[in-house]
Chain A
Amino acid sequence: MKITRKDFLRLTGLSFLAAGTIEATHAIAGRSAAQESAPRKETPSQTVRWGMVVDLRKCRKDSGCDACIQACDSAHNIPQFSNPKHQVKWIWTQPYETVFPFIQNGYAEQTDAGIQVPLMCNHCADPPCVRVCPTQATWKRADGIVMMDWHRCIGCRYCMAACPYGSRSFNWLDPRPHIPHINPDFPTRTKGVVEKCNFCEERLAQGQRPACVDACPEKALVFGNLADPNSEPRQLLRERFAVQREPELGTGPSVYYLV
């Protein structure tokens, strides 16, 4: 049987086309079949997400009060440095107008100016510090707490650069000589590691609330599970207008302020 060049090319082309069609049909059919058979992966809904609500109306009543800071300092062996560059802070205050510049409308200052807003680590839903840590010394726990493993911190301070809230401090000096009274139940830190608020995870493990929450004489700090619609903070968030620090950054802070 003789075959012309033209017939040969035509046959070859048709064969390739047929083979390609079969492959494509299988690929499409197979993929849709796999989609139907495999159960859709559901993201496990978070059952616990620790969060805090700070009632600024209650807090401002007692201006000059620093019970929450004192409680945190003594619970966590936080050193007191006179040089502000060496300062280590877990919970601290800043003037209202620097914390919430977007609420300034020209008249709000009359009532709010000078109010010291308590600030701490926001334990973000999408924490930028965790993303940049090269050693996984900081990570987000299942209950939303952004934890630190000081054993693993190499002191590169990437997390400090990444945190938009300034919640992290670096130990430039050995903190031990600068701790007024060492609480033996909580480790001190060492020179060269970064530290920040841990939402008192060591107290939560014992079923206690954070030290600052317990210390507040006005009960202005409310701590609870944000994933539970009936929790205390969630009730407050339903009833009152609340703001987060710099929500536009998309970090999803777990600390809310009732203004």
Chain B
Amino acid sequence: MRDRIWIVAGLAVFVALITAPFWRARRDVGDLAKLPVLTLPANQTQCVAPVAYMRASHMKLLMAWRYQVVREDERKYVAFNGKVYQKNLTETCLGCHNKEQFCDRCHAYAGVPSPYCWSCHNQPQAGASAVSAAALQPQAQPAPGARRSPDRLLSRMSGWPVSPVPRRAQ
């Protein structure tokens, strides 16, 4: 019974370690029961595919676009409703969606590391993205070439906590 203190301490450490991811997520994302609030594009009502498909399979669509544009030189995408889009992440996707307020919020909530798209692909210049996003960004755009800290900027503006997303390949 002299070892009781060690056993209890060991158990406490074990429980803390086992539950660490939950605590970290709680610290980084906040209330996990609350779904992330996404800023939807103000200028469009329909994405290139139905919402359910985009929610589940946007990564597959992006990979298909990537392959078709780079390797097969096919740049036009005919959507389910017959509308024709350019297969272009910066122009088409980010032309409506704001990376910080759309992509990053959900990725942070789901604990899916931000893909390395952004180490090469650019965000469109200010003005091209959603109107509502512009209203949320009173700060001047950082100078080109300067390191952006979108997460901190975002958290300051919208109360959304700093993204825990680890940045790969940067």
Residue on B with the closest CB to A189? Answer: B120
How far is it, in angstroms, between the C-alpha of A187 and the C-alpha of B75 when the chains are bound? 16
Query: Quick check: is B114 within 8 A (CB to CB) of the other chain?
Result: no
Fill in one digit per residue for A51-74: 1 if any B CB lies within 8 Å of its CB, else 0: 000000000000000000000000
Fill in one digit per residue for B22-33: 1 if any A CB lies within 8 Å of its CB, else 0: 000000000000
B140-170 CB contacts (< 8 Å) to partner A: 144-145, 147, 169-170
Max chain A Cβ within 10 angstroms of own Cβ: one of B71, B116, B120, B170: B120
How far is it, in angstroms, between the C-alpha of A205 and the C-alpha of B90 when the chains are bound? 17
A151, A182, A189: which contacts B145 (Cβ < 8 A)?
A182
| Contact B121–A182 (Cβ < 8 Å) | no
How far is it, in angstroms, between the C-alpha of A188 and the C-alpha of B123 when the chains are bound? 11
| Contact A187–B170 (Cβ < 8 Å) | no
Contacts of A181 in B (CB 8 A): 144-145
Query: Quick check: is A109 within 8 A (CB to CB) of the other chain?
Result: no
Query: Quick check: is B3 within 8 A (CB to CB) of the other chain?
Result: no
How far is it, in angstroms, between the C-alpha of A26 and the C-alpha of B142 when the chains are bound? 79
Query: Quick check: is A184 within 8 A (CB to CB) of the other chain?
Result: yes
Binding site of A, secondary structure by majority: helix, strand, loop or mixed? loop
Contacts A181-B144, A184-B125, A188-B120 known; A201 to B71 CB distance under 8 Å?
Answer: no
| Contact A190–B116 (Cβ < 8 Å) | yes
Contacts A176-B145, A180-B145, A190-B169 known; A150 to B90 CB distance under 8 Å?
Answer: no
A139, A188, A201: which contacts B122 (Cβ < 8 A)?
A188
Q: Size range of the interface on B?
A: 20 to 34
Contacts of B144 in A (CB 8 A): 179-182
How far is it, in angstroms, between the C-alpha of A180 and the C-alpha of B125 when the chains are bound? 15
Contacts of A184 in B (CB 8 A): 90, 122-125
Contacts A150-B120, A151-B66, A180-B145 known; A185 to B73 CB distance under 8 Å?
Answer: no
Contacts of A201 in B (CB 8 A): 73
Contacts of B145 in A (CB 8 A): 176-182
Query: Quick check: is A174 within 8 A (CB to CB) of the other chain?
Result: yes
In the complex, number of A-B residue pairs with CB atoms less than 8 Å apart: 50
Residue on A with the closest CB to B71? Answer: A149
Contacts A177-B147, A179-B145 known; A141 to B73 CB distance under 8 Å?
Answer: yes
| Contact A147–B70 (Cβ < 8 Å) | yes
Chain A residue total in the interface (Cβ 8 A): 25
B81-124 CB contacts (< 8 Å) to partner A: 90-91, 116, 119-124
Contacts of B71 in A (CB 8 A): 139, 147, 149
Max chain B Cβ within 10 angstroms of own Cβ: one of A147, A177, A190, A191: A190
A201 to chain B, nearest CB (A): 7
Contacts of A189 in B (CB 8 A): 120
Residue on B with the closest CB to A190? Answer: B119
Contacts of B123 in A (CB 8 A): 184
How far is it, in angstroms, between the C-alpha of A187 and the C-alpha of B91 when the chains are bound? 11
How far is it, in angstroms, between the C-alpha of A94 and the C-alpha of B142 when the chains are bound? 37
Contacts of A178 in B (CB 8 A): 145
Contacts A180-B145, A181-B144 known; A187 to B120 CB distance under 8 Å?
Answer: yes
Can you spell out 20 A-B residue pairs with CB atoms less than 8 angstroms apart? A139-B71, A147-B70, A149-B71, A150-B120, A151-B66, A178-B145, A182-B145, A183-B122, A184-B90, A184-B125, A185-B90, A185-B91, A185-B122, A186-B122, A187-B120, A188-B120, A190-B116, A190-B169, A191-B169, A201-B73
Additional 17 contacts, C-beta under 8 A, given A174-B119, A177-B145, A184-B122: A141-B73, A147-B70, A149-B70, A149-B71, A150-B120, A151-B70, A177-B147, A182-B144, A184-B90, A184-B125, A185-B90, A185-B122, A187-B90, A187-B121, A188-B122, A189-B120, A190-B116
